[in-house]
Structure 1
């Protein structure tokens, strides 16, 4: 089964070249809730990093993002859902943030959607992969102002 886990650095990359260098086979799953809210691989990876690091700062460093960016994403998740996804312990050294039971459930539900989507699309993705041209330039030429007619 082909599975796609994008990194937050990948989903927040500044340039197309940075993204292209980090891409892997598979799917990007982003769940849109219809009112402007969405849940995607970067937020889930951040929650997983917080779970393992027990710190927003350490999770941000692990993922190559700023603490501010990580904190804003956590705040967005905490306000997006009716239940908090993390709980912080101010002043406690070494383990300042934990996932709530809902935060753990959020990761599990997202990974379930991802796994089911991947399983349902494996055959079609394999067919598309088989149809790819054997050579693909890693750096694409910039578009010209006056394309040939």
Structure 2
């Protein structure tokens, strides 16, 4: 195993993980998109979720459109107006995507801890 230069202290392996198209052209899921879906679950609204993330509504909408377009089934569904106004929900498919991403994130964090111990 290749070693780092001596004298380096208090270091760790760090990184981020996301799921993207096989050709690398577009991201599908990552930490921010998962957080956006979780905030939609919490608030029932894309605009409120975007506000909570200090993100523009357009950016949130673009992320949702990207995820929904890449998925066989939509991850987020919107509801138009009515007595109680519009809203958004994370679909069953979206809930499965959140769970799968979080499980992958846990495995990735375990990998980074193991690699840190090897340093």
Which residue matches 2:60? 70
- After superposition, what is the alpha-carbon deviation per residue over 1:27-55, rounded to whole angstroms, capped at 9, x for unaligned? 31112331323221111111111111110
The root-mean-square deviation of aligned C-alpha atoms, in Å, is: 2.0
Between the aligned partners of 1:55 and 1:69, the Cα distance in structure 2 is: 14
Residue 40 of structure 2 contacts residue 48 of structure 2 at CA under 8 Å; is this kept in 1? yes
2:104 is the counterpart of 1:89: no
Between the aligned partners of 2:118 and 2:54, the Cα distance in structure 1 is: 34
- Normalising by structure 1, we get a TM-score of 0.63
- Normalising by structure 2, we get a TM-score of 0.77
Residue 36 of structure 2 contacts residue 53 of structure 2 at CA under 8 Å; is this kept in 1? yes
How far apart are residue 58 of structure 1 and its match? 0.1
Which residue matches 1:125? 116
Residue 80 of structure 2 contacts residue 86 of structure 2 at CA under 8 Å; is this kept in 1? no
Alignment of 1:8-87 (within 5 A): 26-35=14-23, 36-38=25-27, 39-87=29-77
Q: How many residues end up aligned between the 2 structures?
A: 104
Between the aligned partners of 1:125 and 1:43, the Cα distance in structure 2 is: 27
Between the aligned partners of 2:118 and 2:41, the Cα distance in structure 1 is: 37
Query: 5+ unaligned residues in a row in structure 1: which ranges?
Result: 1-24, 129-149
Which residue matches 1:136? none
CA separation of 1:95 and 1:127: change in aligned 2, threshold 3 A: farther
Between the aligned partners of 1:76 and 1:44, the Cα distance in structure 2 is: 13
Residue 55 of structure 1 contacts residue 94 of structure 1 at CA under 8 Å; is this kept in 2? no
Bigger share in strand = 2
